[in-house]
Amino acid sequence: MSSIINFLYYLMAAFFSVCFLVNFRKSKKWQEELVYLLALLPFLLRVFHLK
Amino acid sequence: MSKKIGESLLLWRKIVFLLFFLVVFIFSGLSFYRSRHLAEPIVLGDGVSRVVRLSDYFSGVKNSINNARVYVLGQDEDGGSVLILGGSHAEEPAGRLAAWILVENALVKKGRMFVIPTANPSASTSTRPGGAYPPDYSIKTPWGEQKFRQGDRWSNPLDQWPDPEVYIHYPTRQQLAYMDIRNHNRTWPGRPNGTMTEKTCYAMTQLIIKEKIDLVIDLHEAELQYPVISTIVAHQKGQDIAALASMMISSEEGFNIGVEYSPTALRGLSHREIGDHTQAIPLLLETPEPFLDATRGRTNRELLLTGKDEFVMKAGKHGLLFEKLDEKGWPIEVRVGRHLSSIIQILKVWSELNPDRPVDLEGVPHYRDLVQNGVGFYLKDPSKAPSDRVFYE
């Protein structure tokens, strides 16, 4: 069970990473773009099993 | 025309931001990757007869990072058997280093000794950046420096996540702090279908039962503001051994160590659950590590290895410490030496009380040797050892 939850957590991290990237692409304000990239960093580190 | 220029500028801005992001991501990612995968060489001493894995006792940890190596010293199955655990809490380096020295130097003439230097490998790959923990530290040796991972108290969230709201200990159902579901010393005796950390403890419990282990010695360190310090914590089955060993250490080894009894109401700890669920007698050793104190100053490698800290000292002047701390600090050689001398004396007492199941240990440096020569003096040069005698933790 815990392995399944762990796997779902990685899927969730990947989903939010994609959301941040889509929003980054759509945004026209530089402040928003920076926020999306900053927020993306920990999610991507988790998806790639780095931190 | 101006709309096109605006779109072009927008595109270039995004490209510049993305490039900046990639630089930060690659730099931080590489740093974390190197830290997590730092290979620590351990040279098998002449006393090591075989090296096995925890999965040889419980296949449930086979594909996990916590499939820890078990170094077996001695082959005399008629004698007694002892299991030494280092790195249950990976951020307490004296335990890992003491286990390292045992694997590289000890000779077991009677009985057998099982050594697990990294009892929770996952915890050794994670540090506490929020607590300003360094990712690693180095020990000076006659042949250069050997680098070790710093580690953390809990299994790496990369390997076991998320934590529950409340951790309910198995099998007692006692409620413990949520993050302690990743604490190797709160998940004994473990369970086969539990979390990775619980499975790790279960595998070790199986090892203890299958190998007919008589004694388990779990090596730890503690902050000076914690009352259980400079002591042997003993299950009721091991009270006599702990008390006798404490007296022998005080008279023969040149330092004092107390005895605490394992509380029956606090669950999940090695000194409680191993004694309750197996035939073995569990003992837990604590040395002082000012690095862990909440009132410490700069949390760096120097503090980890010297144990010198003016702020913790100040806490001592206000009567807030349970162990003394002066300008000499608590250097790593003192802490490792205390562990090794305690192991030597505990095994001596065990062998005297159980002459039919002795564990006779040779070649292990005592406290005074460590204080005189340092830890690195007893670490072997992996480049000079045959490749089949070098393993990487």
In this predicted structure, what is the pLDDT of residue B184? 98
In this predicted structure, what is the pLDDT of residue A5? 85
Q: For chain B, what percent of residues have pLDDT higher than 90?
A: 93
B128 versus B198: which is more confidently predicted? B198
With contacts defined as CB-CB under 8 Å, which chain B residues touch A40?
Answer: 21
In this predicted structure, what is the pLDDT of residue B128? 84
In this predicted structure, what is the pLDDT of residue B76? 85
Among the partner-chain residues B17, B160, B194, the one whose CB lies closest to the CB of A34 is B17
Residue B9 has pLDDT above 90, yes or no: no
In this predicted structure, what is the pLDDT of residue B262? 97
Chain B contact for A5 (CB, 8 A cutoff): yes
Tell me what ipTM this predicted complex has.
0.94
In this predicted structure, what is the pLDDT of residue B14? 94
In this predicted structure, what is the pLDDT of residue B1? 60
In this predicted structure, what is the pLDDT of residue B165? 92
Residue B159 has pLDDT above 70, yes or no: yes
In this predicted structure, what is the pLDDT of residue B33? 94
Among the partner-chain residues A30, A40, A51, the one whose CB lies closest to the CB of B13 is A30
In this predicted structure, what is the pLDDT of residue B287? 98
Chain B contact for A45 (CB, 8 A cutoff): yes
Q: For chain B, what percent of residues have pLDDT higher than 70?
A: 100
Chain A contact for B10 (CB, 8 A cutoff): yes
Chain A contact for B29 (CB, 8 A cutoff): yes
Chain A contact for B156 (CB, 8 A cutoff): no
Instruction: For residue range B22-64, list pLDDT tens digits in order.
Output: 999 999 999 999 999 999 999 999 999 999 999 999 999 999 9
In this predicted structure, what is the pLDDT of residue B4? 83
Mutate to test the interface with A, among B35, B64, B158 (most CBs of A within 10 A): B158
CB contact (8 A) between residue A37 and residue B196: no
Instruction: For residue range B87-128, list pLDDT tens digits in order.
Output: 999 999 999 999 999 999 999 999 999 999 999 999 999 988
Instruction: For residue range B291-340, list pLDDT tens digits in order.
Output: 999 999 999 999 999 999 999 999 999 999 999 999 999 999 999 999 99
**In the predicted model, what is the mean pLDDT of chain B?**
96
Residue B77 has pLDDT above 90, yes or no: no
Residue B377 has pLDDT above 90, yes or no: yes
Instruction: For residue range B175-192, list pLDDT tens digits in order.
Output: 999 999 999 999 999 999
Among the partner-chain residues A28, A44, A46, the one whose CB lies closest to the CB of B25 is A44
Instruction: For residue range A15-43, list pLDDT tens digits in order.
Output: 999 999 999 999 999 999 999 999 999 99
Which H, E and C letters describe chain B, residue by residue? Answer: CHHHHHHHHHHHHHHHHHHHHHHHHHHHHHHHHHHHCCCCEEECCCCEEEEEEHHHCCHHHCCCCCCCEEEEECCCCCCCEEEEECCCCCCCHHHHHHHHHHHHHCEEEECEEEEECCCCHHHHCCCCHHHCCCCEEEEEECCEEEEEECCCCECCCCCCCCCCCCEECCCCCCEECHHHHHECCCCCCCCCCCCHHHHHHHHHHHHHHHCCCCEEEEEEEECCCCCCCCEEEECHHHHHHHHHHHHHHHHHCCCCCEEEECCCCCCCCHHHHHHHHCCCEEEEEEEECHHHCCCCCCCCHHHHHHCCCHHHHHHHHCCCCCCCCCCCCCCHHHHHHHHHHHHHHHHHHHHHHCCCCCCEEECCCCHHHHHHHCCHHHCCCHHHCCHHHEEEC
